Every structure is written in C-alpha cells, then in structure tokens.
Amino acid sequence: MDAKKTTMFIGIMALAGVCGAATAQDAGLKGTWQVTARATTVAPDASGAIVTAAGADSGLDVAVSDSTVPTLGFTYFVTDHVAVEAILGTSKHTIKAVGTGTNVEVHETWVLPPVITAQYHFNTGGKVSPYLGAGINYMSWYGGKDLNGFKVRLKSSLGTAVQAGANVKLKDNLVLNIDYKKVFYSTDAKINSGALSSDVTLDPSVVSIGLGYRF
C-alpha cells in the first residue's frame, strides 16, 4: 500500500471516529487490558539498488516476499481513549536479486519486528470504535539461510510506524479487531562480504484481523 492510500485510509478512520464520538458515550476503558489474536500479512514495499564495492550500479534491485503469520497484540488503556499497544510475532521472508533477465533467490530470513504504538480510540462506548496510533519498531533479523552461492547479512535497527484500525464489539468482553500499520524502515544489506551491497527500504504494510478479549 503506497503513501497516498495510507493517508486516505487513516483519514477515513479518523473521520469515522469523530462522527461516531458524537453519538455514543465512553465505555469506561481506563485500566482495561485487551489481548488480541490476529492473522497478519506483512507486505514489504521493498526497493534498493544493488551496487558494487566501488559504488557502481549492478543493474539489480532487491525484492522481498510477503508473509502471513499469527500475531498477538497487547493493549493497555491508560485512559478511556488513550492506549498503548505492543505486538509480537515473527515472519519469514525470501530476498531476491531482480533485474533484466535476472530473478534469483539470495537469502531466506526470519524477522522479529515488535511494534509499540500510542493510540487514540474514538467512540469507545459504541458498536464500532476506530483508532489511530503512532510509534516505533525494531527489526531483528535471525535464522538466515543463504541461497544460490550468495552470502547476505542484514543490519537490525529501529524504525517508525503509523496505525489505523477499529474494534467492533461482539460481546461484553469480545471484539473483532481490524488493524493496519505502515512501518517505515530501512536496512543495510551486505552481499558476499561487501562485494555487493544495498541500502534497502522495506516500509512494510502490516494488515491484520483477529479477535480481542478485554479484562
């Protein structure tokens, strides 16, 4: 999902929240925990030219596969509207070098990408409660497997994230959760001990749906 679509999605969620807030009272969520089990698709919007040690363009770019995995979200309501969420999960991705006449897998890797966001929830007493959030993430790469004679090393580092979603009340303590995060993240990739390298922008869209339980 590109930046324009991300902005439109967040704007729609915010408008829904403002409109809904005028028609329902607060739910009294201060001090409440919400644990959410989700199915999550991590879809990198990867870009990055592969260059030689001398800085010459190799004509190849980096491509990274999508991954769908189970995740858990832990949300604590500091007030009736303000909450903090941490998500936990891990996903596996295949990295390719692509170009004219070239499409070769160079590496498989797992990533542990915890995201922590501060959220504002609208219409907390209504059937549908949209929310917006922003925060940070840390991409930790592990369990890498080199492919086709390439040796790839990825640098773990921090990124930022924005978020929009909604909780739909099903029962007193049970909600249907729909969540979208856009993570802004870049990493350095070293190939064959630095003979090739790439400053890779990943910027994954993280799309989730699941059930949340409040207590």
- pLDDT value of position 26: 65
Instruction: Estimate to the nearest angstrom the gap between the alpha carbon of 97 and the chain centroid.
Output: 23
- pLDDT value of position 97: 93
CA distance 189 to 204: 17
| DSSP calls for 103-164 | EEEEEEEEEE--EEEEEEE--TTSSEEEEEEEEEEEEEEEEEEE-TT--EEE--EEEEEEEE
List C-alpha distances in Å: 37 to 34, 198, 212.
10, 35, 6
Over residues 9-29, mean pLDDT: 56
And the tokens for 73?
């979200």
Q: Has residue 22 got a pLDDT over 50?
A: no
Over residues 74-99, mean pLDDT: 97
- Lowest mean pLDDT of 22-31, 86-95, 155-164, name the range: 22-31
Average pLDDT value over all residues in the chain: 90
Q: Out of 2.40.160.20, 3.90.320.10, 3.10.129.10, 3.90.470.20, which CATH number does the structure's domain 27-114+134-214 have?
A: 2.40.160.20
Over residues 114-127, mean pLDDT: 97
- pLDDT value of position 13: 53
Q: Has residue 176 got a pLDDT over 90?
A: yes
CA distance 113 to 73: 13
* Position 21 confidence tier, pLDDT thresholds 50, 70, 90: very low
